[in-house]
Structure 1
Amino acid sequence: MKGKWFIGLILLFLMIAGTIPPLSANPALAVGGEAEITGSTVNIRSGPGLSYSVSGALEKGEKVSIVSESGDWLEISTGSGSGWIASWLARKTSSAETNKASGQTAVAAVDHLNIRAQADISSSVLAQMSAGDQALIVNDAGNWLEIDFRGVNGFVSKQYISTAGQNQEKPAPAKSDVSSFEIAVDALNVRNQPDLSSSIQKTVKKGEVFPVRSIQGNWVEIQISEKEGGWVYAFHGHLSDKPVQKAASPKAENITILTDGTNLRTSPSTASAVASRANAGQEFAVVDKQGDWYQVLLPDGQNAFVADWVVTNGETKVQTAEAPEPQTRKKGTLNGLTIVLDPGHGGNDGGTVGVRETKEKDLTLKTSEILSHHLRSAGAEVLLTRQSDVYVDLRTRVSTGHQVAADAFISLHYDATDDNSVSGFTSYYMLDYQQALAESINEGLSGKIDLRNRGARHGNYLVLRENKQAAVLVELGYLSNYNDERIVTSSKFQEQAALGLYDGLVNYFDAKLSQ
């Protein structure tokens, strides 16, 4: 009887001991700071080891706060709780010691401050800061500061930076101390909200000046009518404290029809009804400009719309202006180069539609706009074949590049197939002189996005076949594949894809400098 009692006592002890978590060989040490997830999917566990239960998961690129460290494991805190992750699947972006040592943020003292990939004036430009923008100082690198600006990690020159303690109270967004904003690019979209995904209200032209209502980060809210305001990207214009001067009765703009039988429509779309037809040489007064369409006044007093690619206003259709003086281009920049971006489809040509109802025509325009900002920041002259949801004929797209003798023509698309298991990105070329660009673009993308790389391939597409310029057609993922569609519609992918395309272009043109 005593033996049975003794065995029962031992079993009870073992059961209790089994509920106690094993002691780590390395006691947890308080660390602090932040880490970025580098694995594609990283499990959050209840303790520092693979034997602990999984309580959640993190995706690549997510940032977390470090609470403590135990051996090869990090205790982290997220918005939804805390747990442990493997340190080899994350990268420390800052530590308590680093932050304490600097205790500072970098404040841009000038507009258009370049954030570069390396601490070198010839290094690639990753993004830009506007005057007053703040970034976390990661490291001091001599005449440069390594910073983290809205998720972009890079270097800025100290001479254009002032510093402030992180514990200092951030000034409240004051009312704008500037009065006007002058457009510095050929055409600039005005949006409803300070976001590239927001809908476009109208397009404004180079040289136009508007009153400033407010400023939010890299966006400026301008007054476009007595009652209406809209948002434009600050990189593409100049702020001034001079009040807007009312123009003295400017001469009304006229457009002239180029071909007989041109359709004048009831709304700015090739899918809308035809209100009237006009013949070559007829002139109409312009009431307004909406994207790629002119709103004109008909002889009977009614308004109608005509596409800007079938008329002339006394200037060339694609604004080439005077040829700029040759510029000496350094590696890592795009100064003096002209690049045409072709957002695939548009208007009544919607392209493919994803399994989650994503429209290809919307996604190609978004990618093109993000890429155009990076290219212009590096000094390139950028033209888009369309800037809104309109249909543009394929040959018209190609002729845009021919008229400006573009150095590169990039046609952006998203793919689809009946086999929904097919995924990945592909870069197509048709002619021998296009192959090097396609291969460089493909390599740039492979370093930035996580989709399957289907390589640079030969493709018989009109925008390549009839193109006299170096050209590439890029399929950035399959909307017919559920996982691809989920990835490519994310803001993170859009930014990374734009950076990959940017890197490919920079590397392509850098290689030509060496030839």
Structure 2
Amino acid sequence: MNQLKRSADEQKGSRAAGEPIRAFRRQGLASLTLAAGIGAAVLAAAPGEAHADNSYTAKVYTDSLKVRSQAGPDTPVVGSLRSGDVVTVTDELLGWLKVENASASGWVAGYYLKRQDGSAASAVVTTSSSAPGRSSKTASSAPSGGGAVSTGGNALVTANSVIIRGGPGRNHELLGSANRNDAVTVLDKQDGWARIQTSYGAYGWISTKYLQGGGQATVKAAVQQQKAVHVSTAAAQSPKASTSSIQSGSLQGKLIVLDPGHGGNDPGTIGTTYGLVEQELNLKTALYVRDYLVSRGARVEMTRTDNGQRPSLAARAQLAPSLGADAFVSIHYNSALNGSANGTLVCFYSESKDLGLARAIEAPLKGGTGIRNNGLAFGNFKVIRENSVPAVLLEMGFLSNAADEATISSSDYQRSAAKAIADGLQLYFSN
């Protein structure tokens, strides 16, 4: 999702009843967008000077975590950690954490770690901005323009992918990402950071280095907001399809692309109560959906088939059109700053292309998966925004909600959720 899914892939959006969409991706980098954009912003730069006084311990929450020589996805692997390993965190750079224990020392993707007290393992470590070896490319690539940003005004995101945090500083949780030319409203400014809200309701904090105000920002914000309001209103006012029509549809010969969100060094969100990892749940649910669809005569392609894979958002969006697919479904689990937010959500981008598919899939979710259904919402996610076939992004429950996470942990829920998705696709092809 939101909550922003958000992407690290994905700039994702989600909403509890009666609440605006908020920034999501508390422990994962996403996309609200969806999805995977942050990876492009992470450069293999040398670390700053760590201040040991601010180090802390954290636990690994993935089966196998690569330890790298430097911060960045393409740097040499120097070791590995396993689920449950405890490490000392001494430094941070763009979402990567420098860790050490008796068996390994190096840099790891920070979203696979949680502090010993259960909170997110984002950095509280202060690093020197003038540390020897700091990549000049990293410094020069940071766009300027913060001076043109004013509270109450509009601004454009000027970098390809910018980290959104839960507060004004690098010591706050990673919520997700925003993409170049996203128009935002600046709600507040503090110490070089801006609290922003997107046209579709997601919010969080961004460094003002990556924002530019001015007339172009005002025009783009108006256009994007108008589209968001128009599409969401259309969804709310449109009648929902009846599940009684499911059996009249046929999946025989239909080609469906399933996209289990996140993967690789982007785990998505991590459950706050039981430590469930979103990328693993996304894949598990998608595999159940695949089995249901194939049993009903459909052909299925998947953007990834194991948790070591992390296709780019562009590759995910392009797969369905390149194959001539009939529909695209991206599967995610959600997170919110408010632990009471719960339920499923069906997100779509295009009213003409995607809304029919969104309505069809949302209808069976009302039938009872054990989790509340929050209906439909506009979602400005790359994997559906830049997809030319009917496409939706699903949020199948909140890992930040203890009750949702407990239900989601059951294989029974995985299967019932997958069946509802398959039923929705069959319903879509009944017309």
Give the alignment's TM-score, normalised by structure 1.
Answer: 0.36
Counting strand residues as a fraction of each chain, which structure ranks higher? 1
Question: If you compute each CA radius of gyration, which structure gives the higher value, 1 or 2?
Answer: 1
Give the alignment's TM-score, normalised by structure 2.
Answer: 0.43
